[in-house]
Amino acid sequence: MDPDERAEHEKAERAERAKLRRAVEKLGWKWVNRETVMVPSERTFHIGPRRVTVRGGVSITMPVELTAEAGDTAANAIIDPTIDLFLHTMEHVAKQILHEPDDVERSHLFERASFYTALEDARRSLTQTYQLLENRRLDDRVEAELGLSFYLAGFTTAQRSFEYFVGPTNSGKTHAAIEVLREAGSGVYLAPLRLLALEIYERLNELGVPASLVTGEERIIDPVAQHTSSTVEMVDLAKSYDVAVVDETQLLEDPQRGWAWTLAIAAVRADRVIMCGSEEGLRAATRLIERLGATLSVRRFERKGPLRVTQAIPISELRRGDAVVAFSRNDVIELQGEIGRRGFSSAAIYGSLSPLVRRREAERFRSGEAQVLVATDAIGLGLNLPIRRIVFATVEKFDGIEERRLMPQEVRQIAGRAGRYGIHEEGTVTSFEPRAIGLLRRSLERHDIMDTAGPIWISPTDDHLRRLSPIIGTTRVGRLLQFFQERVLRDGDSGMRIADLSDTIEIANTLELAEGFLDLPLSVRSTYSRAPVNTRGPALSILAHWGAQHASNGIVDGTELMLDGSGRDRLLQYEDRSRIATLYLWLAQRFPEVYKNHAEIAQIRDSIDDDIHATLLARGAHRKRARKAPPPARRRRPAPRPGKRKK
């Protein structure tokens, strides 16, 4: 074919292709190439009560006859098997997700350039719709079964009076409440700390009022006693009292522990309930008592001695009766060493110490054996110590999420421990950091209370877990708690929220991986999940091992505590072993037939605590400053040789 003929042939082909393309586009089809076109297709079908329409293009081979009927016939032959598979899949998905058939009548339209893309959109959307529908139904079933939005309505307030003793630290409010308690025929004191519960237990007995002590790890029961001093989490809700004193009530607003104060105040069976706390606590208590449908009477107390902020000091200007406050164990230990090098004897109090060691260290400071106390902010929770001056090592703390400055109420709670009434005429507050003085002054001089009301914190009980289990189809405590944390009361306007359960969930999940542990009853596994264990140390794996032993042979002997390990940081090692012993004793309180070695473990813990105390005593002992050695004699340079000139 010569060039002219070839050109004429190509021209004819282009004309024919253009004519064919115009015909395709006239039908509403999309031209792809000479052999393929995209035909628009629409299908409407019913999935249960839902009307689903899918629109999009389908690629077909160019039909010989360019008619709409021919295009539809070709497209239907391709998509019919896909639609049949889609309908079968959605029927299976609905059965997998929905416990009851879909009952929602609604139309859904899915339109994309490709019919198959639109069909995939329909699959994803309907799957999500089923999940949302089942979640909503599940939420309705949970609310109907558990009634958590009516959590407080189950507690009777008949024959009960509620009082709030409000005032700053060192104002005598707790003393006044204890005086009411001692005069009552029966009563209970509820403390935020084991050490404070022990202190009130001893005070009542010294006043001639027989009392029992109940904490997570220790029970001293006097069979004739009508009074009990207890940690707030251990309140006996089945026993009746004339008076209940709930201390440090501002902890109602704490996301981790606030649920315990909510439960104690709402459910304790006492004719007269006296709460002690700060202005922040009064706000929270008022909100709670209003929800209980009761009234709250308020009695105000003023601080018994003045509190004054002074200029910042260097560590060398510490004096007898000072308490240095830091916000981590490592900082306390480091400061104690530095204070010792400055010539002061010191005692140390921080959270990882056992109550016995904390008590011994506090007594060393009270007696004057230790000139200075170095402590974390735990001393702000009611411990009675003869502190002359509070010295903030810093005004920043890590709160588990971020490093932040102290809030005014935190400053007031700690600073108020200075100037114990009857021992010091006034209390003073200062810091090692000059820039912190302004914050301290502002916090103590202004007492503005935030207008925003926090939630009322609650926590699921074993009964809630038991009732939720068949609803969501699992007996795993970790999964049940996760559901509570993420779903229950999430969008409610009840003013209540589930407490932070993250550590409890982590403990439950770890335990339920232990061999045989899931064979234990749900209530037993739930108790284990609430064990006082550090999730970042060796104790959690030991707890899981004990849980497996409990499940396999029903006896846990605690042999891990019989072995003495070795390590560079002996104090840290002692503290770890003390916490593990405390964990064993906590479990022995709840499962005495399983944790049978509690007497021997208690002796081991006492021995470990002796080691901790001896180590702290050595670190906090007065250390004479080493006399500085005289500077080395300067060497005289040799005289220049005769005849030589210095250059």
Instruction: Convert the pLDDT of each residue in 58-70 to its tens digit.
Output: 998 998 888 999 9
- What is the per-residue pLDDT for 628? 45
Higher pLDDT, 488 or 196: 196
Task: Quickly state the pLDDT bin for 595 (edges 50, 70, 90).
Answer: very high
Instruction: Judge whether 85 lies within some domain.
Output: yes
DSSP letter (8 states) at residue 557:
-
What is the Rg, in whole angstroms, of the alpha carbon atoms belonging to the chain? 37
pLDDT higher than 80, residue 399? no
Task: Quickly state the pLDDT bin for 631 (edges 50, 70, 90).
Answer: very low
Instruction: Judge whether 5 lies within some domain.
Output: no
Task: Quickly state the pLDDT bin for 305 (edges 50, 70, 90).
Answer: confident
pLDDT higher than 60, residue 235? yes
Q: What CATH number corresponds to the domain at position 334?
A: 3.40.50.300
- What is the per-residue pLDDT for 1? 65
Return d(Cα 66, Cα 73) in angstroms, integer: 12
- What is the per-residue pLDDT for 421? 52
Work out the angle at residue 633's Cα, subtended by the Cα atoms of residues 631 and 638, and round it to the nearest 5 degrees.
Answer: 150
pLDDT higher than 60, residue 641? no
Instruction: Judge whether 642 lies within some domain.
Output: no
Ramachandran sector of residue 123 (left: φ over 0; alpha: ψ -120 to 50; beta: rest)? alpha
- In this structure, the answer to whether residues 82 and 132 fall within a common structural domain is yes
Boundary residue ending a domain (96, 118, 146): 146
Work out the angle at residue 91's Cα, subtended by the Cα atoms of residues 85 and 92, and round it to the nearest 5 degrees.
Answer: 90
- What is the per-residue pLDDT for 138? 84
- What is the per-residue pLDDT for 636? 41
Provide the 3-class DSSP secondary structure of residue 362.
helix
- What is the per-residue pLDDT for 164? 97
Instruction: Judge whether 29 lies within some domain.
Output: no
Lowest mean pLDDT among 2-11, 340-349, 426-435: 2-11
Return d(Cα 621, Cα 190) in angstroms, integer: 35
- In this structure, the answer to whether residues 340 and 419 fall within a common structural domain is yes
Q: Beta strand 372-375 with 346-349: parallel, antiparallel or unpaired?
A: parallel
- In this structure, the answer to whether residues 295 and 315 fall within a common structural domain is no
Instruction: Judge whether 8 lies within some domain.
Output: no
- In this structure, the answer to whether residues 176 and 284 fall within a common structural domain is yes
The answer to whether the CB of 430 falls within 8 A of the CB of 389 is yes
Higher pLDDT, 13 or 221: 221
Which secondary structure element, helix H or strand E, spans residue 206, and what is its range?
helix 194-206
Boundary residue ending a domain (277, 300, 323): 300
- In this structure, the answer to whether residues 575 and 523 fall within a common structural domain is yes
Q: Integer distance in angstroms from the first to the last C-alpha of the chain? A: 104
- What is the per-residue pLDDT for 619? 78
476: tokens are 């795993």
Boundary residue ending a domain (146, 181, 216): 146
What is the domain count for the chain? 4
Instruction: Judge whether 48 lies within some domain.
Output: yes
- What is the per-residue pLDDT for 150? 67
Angle between helices 173-183 and 194-206 (to 10 degrees): 50
What is the average pLDDT across 251-272? 93
- In this structure, the answer to whether residues 267 and 330 fall within a common structural domain is no
- Is residue 346 packed enough to be buried (19+ CB in 10 Å), middle (13-18) or exposed (0-12)? buried
Work out the angle at residue 54's Cα, subtended by the Cα atoms of residues 48 and 57, and round it to the nearest 5 degrees.
Answer: 155
Lowest mean pLDDT among 21-35, 408-422, 589-603, 623-637: 623-637
- What is the per-residue pLDDT for 627? 40
Higher pLDDT, 141 or 336: 336
- In this structure, the answer to whether residues 178 and 111 fall within a common structural domain is no
Enter the pTM of the model. Answer: 0.75
Instruction: Judge whether 16 lies within some domain.
Output: no
pLDDT higher than 70, residue 385? yes
Residue 467 has phi, psi (to 5 degrees) of -75, -30
- What is the per-residue pLDDT for 48? 92
- In this structure, the answer to whether residues 412 and 494 fall within a common structural domain is no
Return d(Cα 429, Cα 457) in angstroms, integer: 33
63: tokens are 């039909």
- What is the per-residue pLDDT for 204? 96
- What is the per-residue pLDDT for 152? 79
Question: Over the range 4-39, which residues count as b (16 or more CB within 10 Å of their CB) and which as e?
Answer: eeeeeeeeeeeeeeeeeeeebeebebebeeeeebbb
Instruction: Judge whether 9 lies within some domain.
Output: no
pLDDT higher than 90, residue 629? no
- In this structure, the answer to whether residues 341 and 372 fall within a common structural domain is yes
Lowest mean pLDDT among 427-431, 447-451, 483-487: 447-451
Lowest mean pLDDT among 214-218, 494-498, 548-552, 572-576: 494-498
Domain limits at 66? 36-146
Report the mean per-residue pLDDT for the chain: 87
